[in-house]
Chain A
Amino acid sequence: SQQGEEDPQALSIQEGENATMNCSYKTSINNLQWYRQNSGRGLVHLILIRSNEREKHSGRLRVTLDTSKKSSSLLITASRAADTASYFCATAPLGSARQLTFGSGTQLTVLP
């Protein structure tokens, strides 16, 4: 079963706009991670946020985590055409040592 579920499944925006993707999960976690996948390629790690953190930044990326609601969001500011990709959240559940459970992803299209 999928631990994380992303919303929306697909998102299309204009270059320069901000993109927000959401992730909900079911069980308590150790950390939550976001990955990016370009078409036909492997996944690339973007950012990791621990369960005791509420917000984290990396360049144009901002991730928030609300453990009370079991949800996270990924914000990409000032998007570029090169940001077009699928974005996945992945959770490291408590008690499931060294495993990550992935959601089904959000397909982001940034139009030039």
Chain B
Amino acid sequence: NAGVTQTPKFRVLKTGQSMTLLCAQDMNHEYMYWYRQDPGMGLRLIHYSVGEGTTAKGEVPDGYNVSRLKKQNFLLGLESAAPSQTSVYFCASSPMTSGRAWNTGELFFGEGSRLTVL
């Protein structure tokens, strides 16, 4: 039972290069999220998805794009990497909660992808 798997775990880019981070979950969760974690700032939400084929912006979406073509996968793309995007990126998933539709339940996190942009 893998849970949430992120690839790659480490990557070094030069400014202006593009790349895609892949998140895969095997728990049949409806909701998926991409966060970035920077020292002293906790986690900030980049984009999220409430179901296959849907995406929405989070707190810090600029410079990133996402796609959720399959329920189990959530891709995070950087079209033109900048040094400010040096960070640790975490993917998370969450099951649909019963009861009130707006209730956010427990998130299951991947182990992170460490990206350095030179």
Interface residues in chain A, defined as those with a beta carbon under 8 Å from any beta carbon in chain B: 1-2, 4, 30-31, 33, 35, 40-45, 48, 88, 90, 92, 94-95, 97-105
Contact = CB atoms under 8 A, between A and B. Distances in A.
Q: Which of B100, B105, B106 has its CB near the most chain A CB atoms (within 10 A)?
A: B106
Contacts of B107: 33, 35, 43, 45, 90, 100
Contacts of B61: none
B42 A48 contact: no
Interface string B19-52: 0000000000001010100001111110010100
B41 A98 contact: no
B101 interface: yes
B42 A105 contact: yes
B48 A99 contact: yes
A92 B4 CA distance: 21
B18 interface: no
Interface residues of B, number: 30
A40 B114 CA distance: 10
Nearest to A92: B104
Interface of B: 4, 31, 33, 35, 40-45, 48, 50, 58-59, 90, 92, 94, 100-112
Contact of A42 (B45, B101, B106, B109): B109
A31 B35 CA distance: 19
16 contacts: A2-B41, A33-B106, A35-B107, A40-B112, A42-B109, A43-B92, A43-B107, A48-B105, A88-B42, A88-B43, A92-B103, A97-B104, A98-B50, A100-B45, A100-B104, A102-B44
Contacts of A45: 106-108
A48 B107 CA distance: 11
Return the 4 tightest CB-CB contacts between A and B, nearest first: A42-B109, A92-B104, A102-B43, A104-B42
A110 to B, nearest CB: 21
A99 B106 contact: no
